[in-house]
Amino acid sequence: MTKARENLSPITLSVLWNSFISVADEMGTTLRHTAFSEAVREAEDFSTGVFDRTGRLIAQGNFTPGHLGAMPFVVKNVLKFFPEGTLRPGDGVLLNDSALGSGHFPDCFLVTPVFIGEELIGYVVNTAHHVDMGGAAPGSQKVQGVTEAYQEGVRILPVRLVRNGEFDEDILRLILGNIRVPDLVSGDLSAQRNANFIGAQRLVKLYKEYGRAQIDTAVETIFEKSEMRMRDLIRKIPDGVYSFQDQLDDCGPGDGIVTVAVDITVKDDDITADFSRSSDQVGVAINSYLSYTRAYTLFAVKVFADALLPQNDGAIRPIKATAREGSFFNPRFPAASGGRAALQIRIFDVINGALSQAMPDRAMGAFSHWSNPNIGGIDDRTGKPFIFYDLILGGYGGRSNKDGAEALSPVMNCANIPVEVHETNSPIVVRRFELLADSSGPGRYRGGCAIRKDVELQTSSAVMTLLSDRHGSAGFGLFGGGAGTIAETILNPDGEAIHMTSKEVRTLKNGDVVSFRLNGAGGYGSPTERSVAAIENDLADGYITADFAKQVYGAKRS
């Protein structure tokens, strides 16, 4: 241990660590409060982070792992284009390129260098999911019929969008001229700039108060302690290779299912998740670039090791994710990836399935897979374009000691968007929004229920792109737990019902109703071990019916 670290008191270290987290959290608060779109303001589909002057992650806000896990790779690539000495105070670099870390074009990362005078002290970074970045369909997440990245919208390699604290109007005009809802995107970009401005101010204040030498010492100590703790936790997992396999629905007419397979190798204090046995990259827009594969690998392993352990450069060093080049989880550019958000749950599910063999008490049944529909067109009320972007979030899998939670965001920290917000800002009416009885996977501890949400279009026409899964395969249970029901998406369920596929693209007309029905989450442990009291409570709460209780739990019902 160096002399400087010996002189750093535990109290000062704790204050500095919490100050870094506070900077990231305040950036998030600013972004949320100044954003324009429902995706950012209501669904909280954004993230923030603080990096040191070499581009290493120090702290992050409590936001979505897909963004946060990819953020270090985004910063690394931005610094290849803008190495130290090329950026000035007040600059901001924007990137949304899938292969350089974003994963899909709607996620725009803004990287802002922070200076005291002419001295670079670090970077503040945020990302936000923009409701449209152009391309083949409203929302820029169309899967079917999109075969290469060039069709997906405005592709932004690292570009200096902000100079001296102000947008470069020429670049901004180029971006906004190629998207459907420029007011919303412009507003959200301004919110991103605001967030980084606040983050930079707070970071400068922190450095002026404690000095560069003391903060450098604290940062290195944080990294060392985080790495040491993560390695200690990995050593507690028995050495071995743990494998699991699942699947994604077919991606379009004539396409087969996508195999999702992982082999996790634990050796001493290192852990590697290898997705090479998964399918080859596909010719539609749902491939997972390696940065996204890594992001959810980091998250899943951290959850199993210690969900409360800080994620920073030190903590992620012992965790590796790999996949053969050209595979679904490491595609070659220009593979299309607009719908890659649908993969986050499946990446977690297969890692969960694999590590359940080594750490059964930490595992859970498969999640209820979320639905992320985008519906866009012209709003007859205003004559202007609209995009209805929704997050429909279901239940957690049953765990080793309790039932799965209901209607919570799985693995991404986003939120259900209020019905009132949707109905105010888009020409739609939500006709039903409810839990589905008898949908959860039974077990000693049952999975969470599926969600049903029926949405009626109230404008002349619109294009809908679906982004969901589990229409063809159920969410698995563990250790004797049952699978939940499969998902369905039904057009006009009370009329001439049409069952749609999970990635379908369809033109809707005024009065059409789309019924989004998620799959039920998987159970944990044998249903024969479920207590009578738990069954009776499920009946009273409407989670199951009497017929289901009799059929699944039989004589256990009193």
In tens, the pLDDT along 411-465 reads 988 998 999 999 999 999 999 999 999 999 999 999 999 999 999 999 999 999 9
CA–CA separation, 320 vs 105, rounded Å? Answer: 25
Query: Who's near 290: CB < 8 A, 6+ residues apart?
Result: 321, 323, 329, 330
pLDDT value, residue 1:
46
pLDDT value, residue 556:
56
According to DSSP, the residues that pair with 428 across neighbouring strands are 457
Distances (CA, A) of 138 to 149, 337, 375, 376, 455: 16, 15, 7, 5, 17
Q: Are 489 and 500 in contact (CB under 8 A)?
A: yes
145 pLDDT band, cuts 50/70/90, is very high
- Give per-residue pLDDT as tens, 291-322: 999 999 999 999 999 988 888 999 999 999 99
* DSSP labels, 56-117: -EEEE-S--HHHHHHHHHHHHHHHHHS-TTS--TT-EEEE--IIIIISSTTEEEEEEEEEET
Sequence ranges of the domains in the chain: 3-227, 364-558
- Give per-residue pLDDT as tens, 484-529: 999 999 999 999 999 999 999 999 999 999 999 999 999 999 999 9
7 pLDDT band, cuts 50/70/90, is confident
- Give per-residue pLDDT as tens, 202-261: 999 999 999 999 999 999 999 999 999 999 999 999 999 999 999 999 887 777 899 999
pLDDT value, residue 256:
85
Long-range CB contacts (within 8 A, 24+) of 511-514: 511/456, 511/457, 511/458, 512/456, 512/457, 513/431, 513/454, 513/455, 513/456, 513/457, 514/373, 514/454, 514/455, 514/457, 514/464, 514/489, 514/490
Does 469 score more than 80 pLDDT?
yes
Q: What is the mean pLDDT of the chain?
A: 96
Does 35 score more than 90 pLDDT?
yes
Does 4 score more than 70 pLDDT?
no
* DSSP labels, 115-148: EETTEEEEEEEEEEE-S---SSSTTS---TT--S
Local structure of 29: helix, strand or coil: helix
Structure tokens at 308: 């409360």
pLDDT value, residue 6:
59
What single DSSP character describes residue 527?
A: G
Does 185 score more than 60 pLDDT?
yes
- Give per-residue pLDDT as tens, 382-418: 999 999 999 999 999 999 999 999 999 989 889 989 9
pLDDT value, residue 555:
59
* DSSP labels, 282-319: -SSTT---HHHHHHHHHHHHHHHHHTTSPPSHHHHTTE
pLDDT value, residue 65:
87
Local structure of 262: helix, strand or coil: strand
Count, in order, helices (H) and strands (E) of the chain: 13, 20
Number of residues assigned to the chain = 558
144-164 per-residue burial string, b: 16 or more CB within 10 A, e: under 16: bbbeebebbbbbbebbbbbee
pLDDT value, residue 495:
93
CA–CA separation, 391 vs 68, rounded Å? Answer: 19
According to DSSP, the residues that pair with 385 across neighbouring strands are 378
548 pLDDT band, cuts 50/70/90, is very high
Question: What CA dihedral angle connects 533, 534, 537 and 543, to 10 degrees?
Answer: -150
- Give per-residue pLDDT as tens, 322-332: 999 999 999 99
- Residue 87: Cβ within 10 Å count: 20
Residue identified by tokens 């069952």 is 499
Q: Are 285 and 152 in contact (CB under 8 A)?
A: yes
Q: Are 339 and 104 in contact (CB under 8 A)?
A: yes
CA–CA separation, 488 vs 506, rounded Å? Answer: 15
Q: Are strands 270-274 and 319-322 parallel, antiparallel or unpaired?
A: parallel
Residue identified by tokens 């792109």 is 465
